[in-house]
Structure 1
Amino acid sequence: MQNILDAMSVLRTLCRSSAEQLLRPFSTKSLPTLTLFTKDPCPLCDEAKEVLEPLKHRFVLQQVDISLPENKLWWDRYKWDIPVFHLNGQFLMKHRVNLGLLEKLLQDIEKQQT
C-alpha cells in the first residue's frame, strides 16, 4: 500500500490527465462498457475501432459477433446497420463513430464517478 501511495505522490507532479491514465489500474471505479456489434468481415467495424483508439483507455470494448447463432436477436436487429455501438447497454450510434458524442458521454460518466 505504501508503494502505491509513494507512486501517487510522484505522479501528482505529472500532468493531471497523464497521472489519471497511469493510476487507472489502481482505481476502484469501473470503466464503462462500449459494446460493438459486428461480424466478420466488417471493414467499417475495423475502421471504427481505429477511430476509437485514442479513447480506448477510458472504456472496456466488448465485441458481439452478430453472425453467431446465439446472437440471432442482434442479427435480426442490426444486420444492415453494423457497426452499432451501445454504451453501458444503451444504444449510442451506428455506421460511424461520433467521437464528440462518445467523448461527452464518457466525461459525464467520469464526473459521476468522482
Structure 2
Amino acid sequence: MHIRLYTKTNCPLCEKAKAVLMELQADMAFTIEEVDIYQDDALLEKYQLMIPVVELSGETIAYGMIEKETVRKRLRAAQNS
C-alpha cells in the first residue's frame, strides 16, 4: 500500500500526522510519500486549508487533525479488500 501525505513547511499538524503514520508503519506495511503543496499551484489551491491530507489509492482518508485509529481502520479495510 502507498500513502500520500500532503504537507507544507512549518506545519505542526503535518509533523504530527507524519509521526502517526510512522507509528502505524510499525504494525502495517505501507510506504509514505510526502508532497509539499507549495511545489504545485493546483495542489495548493485544492488543499490549502485542509493540510495535512492523508490519501490512500487516490482517496482522501483523513485531513486536519489526523487520528491514528481512523487511519488504521482505513488501512486495514484496504488490506482486506
TM-score range, shorter chain: 0.7 to 0.9
Residue 35 of structure 1: SS of its match in structure 2? Answer: strand
Work out whether residues 86 and 93 of structure 1, in 8 Å CA contact, stay in contact via their aligned partners in 2. yes
Residue 58 of structure 1: SS of its match in structure 2? Answer: coil
Question: Who wins on radius of gyration, i.e. which is larger?
Answer: 1
Question: 1:78 corresponds to which letter in structure 2?
Answer: Y
2:15 matched residue in structure 1: 46
TM-score (ref. length: structure 1): 0.62
- The correspondence for 1:67, drawn from 38, 43, 55, is 38
Is 2:54 aligned against 1:85?
yes
Instruction: Give me the CA root mean square deviation.
Output: 1.4
Q: Which runs of 5+ in 1 are unaligned?
A: 1-31
Specify which structure has the higher proportion of strand: 2
TM-score (ref. length: structure 2): 0.83
Is 2:78 aligned against 1:109?
yes
1:36 matched residue in structure 2: 5
CA distance in 1, matches of 2:37, 2:13: 15
Q: Which runs of 5+ in 2 are unaligned?
A: none
Specify which structure has the higher proportion of helix: 1
* Number of aligned positions between the proteins: 79
